[in-house]
Structure 1
């Protein structure tokens, strides 16, 4: 009798476990499908956030960043770009622009130099300073649960000097006449770029293509990431990118961002590139070196240079600009908010760099621990409004099916930038004084419009001049 009772209880428990398992399976499936695969439709209205994990928080960890991901939704963020998350080589590790850790004798002083994120010792591991693989998984899951995609910064041009390939596969690297592995060289001069903390990879070796492809596929297959931002993409053969991207897309749809504006990269490899030239023109306008007329000429150049479905990332700052060329305020001064609004209203996708949302006005240390501010000032509420507009208004669609861009004529083409964006009946107009002087001008525009940022109604007519104060701008939408 006891034996029969035990068997009955065991059967009941087994049946119960199977029933629970059957109930849990749909929940797991639903979790995996919490976010639709990345697509052009999602990217049309996207805002990208560049996350500098080391400097984002005092802890400098995945977990500290993960807890703030839901808050990024307030800024309209749809794509999180993680700066390199991999272990950093110790050999030849940069301490300053000119010195490596080997040049510093004091052990305590040496310890504070954490090296460049871009000197990678292992492509398939995480930097232990940031946390564990489990912490990384949680970050990706939290982003997906909040309808955000995650792309990894990928450094295919070089590795750190501690990478195992240096010993196991030295033929993967560029070597000098003595057979010594070298750091990256300027192809025009044959001289070093000064990136002495990294070893240059040699893509003449097709075995390297296979090895690098496998490293990239690892993150898509094992950790469900949604694409890559490719560091110095133009220094790696375009053919390599064209070979790996289809392999990645066989696993799942991916978004590919090139740190380049080379139009040839967009044909069969990358979705989007950097708007480097546009960024530099913004800086020069803010500094009085160029005018609104120069911007109009640049947009005409863009129109004739790129294919209709090519698009670029617009930014007023990023990790390179902040650390090496200055803060937004240093470079753009009183024009900062005008240029920020411009990056959201142009065709393409706007970028937010860690700390920018908190009015950060300091250059983050690159090789040492630093921390961004976390106090909301003027920029956060402006980004909230701009992010919402970018997410919701079809006139700001900026990817492969972007809204149209049309210059609006004014009587002061040197100072005033004015353009119209339109798509599916939605219309948006950007008007800005791109100078540090008052301007009075006429504009080929008539009607009643809503000033998006203030909510006020603005009446404009071609026979009545407008006045704009230095760097004053309007974003006008359908009334």
Structure 2
């Protein structure tokens, strides 16, 4: 009766322990911007030491209030379809299978908090959306994301729909989990239930774009180490000394469960597009920051292009592929010709 109960009830997949994550922006990863073209690069990612590939949202993008020419991949038009810009469902399955064959795993970016204005749910279930005082759909109020509208998780039907959508991609495409966009804007009890349901199919890895202790108990394996990143940037800017980093590690050890995985990073799609390249943010301390990220406490993230020191901010709403060194393309072509892919 009085015996302590474990706070953490989830079990991390064995393959996720001490993993290196790689965020792949399909649109910009190759000149073609497709799953098929990205698949040809898998041997290189394996050689780099990547364990988990995080694919940015793979769904069709809304057209109403679209930003730029191609739109934001976080403006989801259909949770059960593949963006034709990237290829087909068969192409996605082939990418996942090829990654598995090389000992890597694949997680999808999942946008549960909001949808595009022209998502079919706006017509079939308009009651599932937040409304403003005039009764209109409510755009996300933070930043300038006028291309998306917020969902309302007070509805059991929405929770069931979204959970079934999450299960669909694990079952049909054999993906290995999810990175949850703005996870803290969605009720935690939804994520707890979704994790339980996903585990009925196979062990999954769940990464939350959030920083909160309780997310680690039953829903998420890993959360963003925002405070680590902020500490590093304060040190580089001369606004703090290394004590601020010591404070992070002390806080993390004291406040978070021992089982919690914290994702450290110096760049990602948000950082690169809106805050600046790693050169802009870290300057001459860039390499030291990356070394600490990779060798220190936590699981490290590589944003595509970091491995070659990509110096550019990649456009978010347009086609703007990474410029890879010629040797990488030649190596990929050689492997392809030898039939090793």
Write the mapping of 1:51-66 to structure 2, written as runs, cut at 5 A: 51-66=24-39
* C-alpha distance after superposition, 1:124-168 (max 9, x if no partner): 111101111111111001100010110000000000011001011
Which of 253, 263, 272 is residue 213 of structure 2 equivalent to? 263
Q: Distance in 2 between matches of 1:333 and 1:193?
A: 26
SS in 2 for 1:263: coil
SS in 2 for 1:116: coil
Superposition deviation, residue 193 in structure 1: 4.0
Superposition deviation, residue 304 in structure 1: 1.3
Aligned residue for 2:129? 173
Aligned residue for 2:86? 130
Structure 1 segments unaligned to the other structure (5+ residues): 1-37, 96-112, 186-191, 378-479
Which of 45, 53, 60 is residue 87 of structure 1 equivalent to? 60
TM-score (norm 1): 0.65
SS in 2 for 1:294: helix
Write the mapping of 1:76-475 to structure 2, written as runs, cut at 5 A: 76-95=49-68, 113-185=69-141, 193-375=143-325
* Count of residue pairs brought into register by the alignment: 317
Aligned residue for 1:43? 16
* C-alpha distance after superposition, 1:421-464 (max 9, x if no partner): xxxxxxxxxxxxxxxxxxxxxxxxxxxxxxxxxxxxxxxxxxxx
> Are the counterparts in 2 of residues 358 and 376 from structure 1 also a CA contact under 8 Å?
no
> Are the counterparts in 2 of residues 357 and 376 from structure 1 also a CA contact under 8 Å?
no
Dislocated runs of 4+, deviation >6 Å: none
Q: Distance in 1 between matches of 2:143 and 2:189?
A: 24
Q: Distance in 2 between matches of 1:164 and 1:363?
A: 33
Q: Distance in 2 between matches of 1:228 and 1:234?
A: 14
Superposition deviation, residue 176 in structure 1: 2.1
Is 1:67 aligned to 2:40, yes or no? yes
RMSD over aligned Cα atoms: 1.4
* C-alpha distance after superposition, 1:326-375 (max 9, x if no partner): 00111001111111010112222110001111110110000111011212
Q: Distance in 2 between matches of 1:281 and 1:375?
A: 32
Q: Distance in 2 between matches of 1:258 and 1:156?
A: 12
Q: Distance in 2 between matches of 1:42 and 1:242?
A: 21
1:194–1:217 distance in 2 versus 1, CA, 3 Å: same
* C-alpha distance after superposition, 1:282-328 (max 9, x if no partner): 11212222211221122111111111111200111000000000001
Instruction: Between the two structures, name the one with larger relative contact order (CA 8 Å, sep ≥ 6).
Output: 2
Name the structure where strand makes up a greater proportion of residues: 1
> Are the counterparts in 2 of residues 183 and 200 from structure 1 also a CA contact under 8 Å?
yes
Superposition deviation, residue 177 in structure 1: 3.0
Q: Distance in 1 between matches of 2:66 and 2:93?
A: 28
> Are the counterparts in 1 of residues 179 and 209 from structure 2 also a CA contact under 8 Å?
yes
Q: Distance in 2 between matches of 1:280 and 1:297?
A: 12
Structure 2 segments unaligned to the other structure (5+ residues): 1-10, 328-341
Structure with the greater alpha carbon radius of gyration: 1
